[in-house]
Chain A
Amino acid sequence: MTAYNNTDLYNKYVQEQASEAFRNKCIDEAVYRNILEKHPHTLYTPNYFIRIGLALLTFVAIVFSLTLVWLITGASSDEAIMTLLLFFCDSLLCLA
């Protein structure tokens, strides 16, 4: 199974390569802009600090959701708590 669209991945790669070439003054601005326009992609790539913020807030949302589900279900047996924790771990894996 492919997680991401191949064209999107290729276009993103070309954009990164073009940025490097532009930074090193191998291509001029008009050529650089032309490459960016002809290789659009829809992949969500936020800034690193935004990524840290998103990870922390997702963690908060997951922990409180788990607590809410635990309170609603009133799970007290080992099996029930284990199932909830498995659900929680699965969510964390998705986050990673």
Chain B
Amino acid sequence: MDIPAFEKLRDKQIITDDDLEKIKAFKTSQPVSVHWDLRTILYFGIFLFTTGTGIIVYKNIDTIGHDIIIAVIALCCAGCFFYCIKKAKGYANKKVQSPNVWFDYILLAGCLLLLTLIGYLQFQYNAFGSRWGLATFMPMVLLFISAYYFDHLGVLSLAIVNLAAWTGITVTPLQILDENDFSSERIILSGIVLGAGLVAFSLLTLKRNLKSHFAFTYKNFGTHILFIALLAALFEFEDIYLIIFPVFAAVAFFFYKNALKENSFYFLVITLLYSYIAVGYFVIRLLEITGGGMGSVYLGLFYFIASGIGLIRVLMHYNKIIKSNDSIQ
């Protein structure tokens, strides 16, 4: 806080001498916070450590030997989980504070090492055979249990990514995966179901007050997966795009109302941007139907310029509305 600025306010009698003394006392008593700097460095350190482990394993796989590498990874992983179980405060429906500063990082390291271990076992020893679904299902379950028991948002994000991988692998025939054909209708439909499921689960989490601080993570993943899957459906299923477009509009309307209700800038912006892409595609299809040619190209260009400027005005308008609903409390 800038003391001379407050001294000026005191001279104008906007604040009292007592207020100024409080501000001065607060400023002198507060040490410079390096909390977030240290946390960022620690998180970065964990990611570098686990990445480095992977690179060392890859480069020395012929000289060290598989058994030793697996044993070391398993030992480190077990050590991390042993520490976390010993220090954990136990499961609770509400948010549980970490017992100490190191806890979150050791848990994250343990979970990342667990993923490396399972991947290694499957790649080298084919531990799960050709049941790739099981190879992703196992770590997913362990990650979800860890996220809920130890109350860790980072591990929850890993678990949701694993859930998406498991869903994709389970619904897709192996042949399609081998051919890297990701435009398969099964993948798109599973994306829609997964996205909608995650959003519904976030609402349920809030309603039942079951780790309600996890709701944003579920909703964030769910919203992006659902919108991307619906856009893929719109582009891929060309014959029925007139049916998919109203579905997209209904989903976008739901998120729009929800964003306004929660005063969320983030969800409002992503809803408007995804909708802008969908409407743009719809307009191009309409221009194509009308015959194409240079006239349609000019119309399309005018549409994108006008709609871009129009949406800018809309964003500015909603910025004002949401800001006016802000509270100083």
Chain A residues within CB distance 8 Å of chain B = 13-14, 17, 20-22, 24, 26-27, 29, 31-35, 38, 44, 46-50, 52-54, 56-58, 60-61, 64-65, 67-68, 71
Contacts and interface: CB of A to CB of B under 8 A. Distances in A.
Contacts of A26: 1, 19, 22-23, 26
Across the A-B interface, give the 10 residue pairs with the lowest CB-CB distance, nearest first: A61-B308, A64-B304, A47-B265, A53-B269, A60-B308, A68-B301, A49-B265, A26-B22, A46-B319, A49-B269
Contact of B6 (A21, A38, A68): A21
B272 A67 contact: no
B2 A17 contact: yes
A38 B12 CA distance: 11
Interface of B: 1-2, 5-6, 9, 14-16, 19, 22-23, 26, 265-266, 268-269, 272-273, 276, 297-298, 301-302, 304-305, 308-309, 311-312, 315-316, 318-319, 322-323, 328
A50 B6 CA distance: 31
A83 to B, nearest CB: 19
Contact of B1 (A20, A60, A65): A20
A27 B1 contact: no
B312 A35 contact: no
A14 B9 contact: yes
Contact of B9 (A35, A49, A65): A35
A84 B134 CA distance: 57
Nearest to A38: B14
Nearest to A70: B301
Given A17-B5, A47-B319, A53-B273, A35 B328 contact: no
Contact of A58 (B273, B304, B308, B318): B308
B305 A68 contact: yes
Among B2, B19, B308: residue with most chain A CB under 10 A: B308
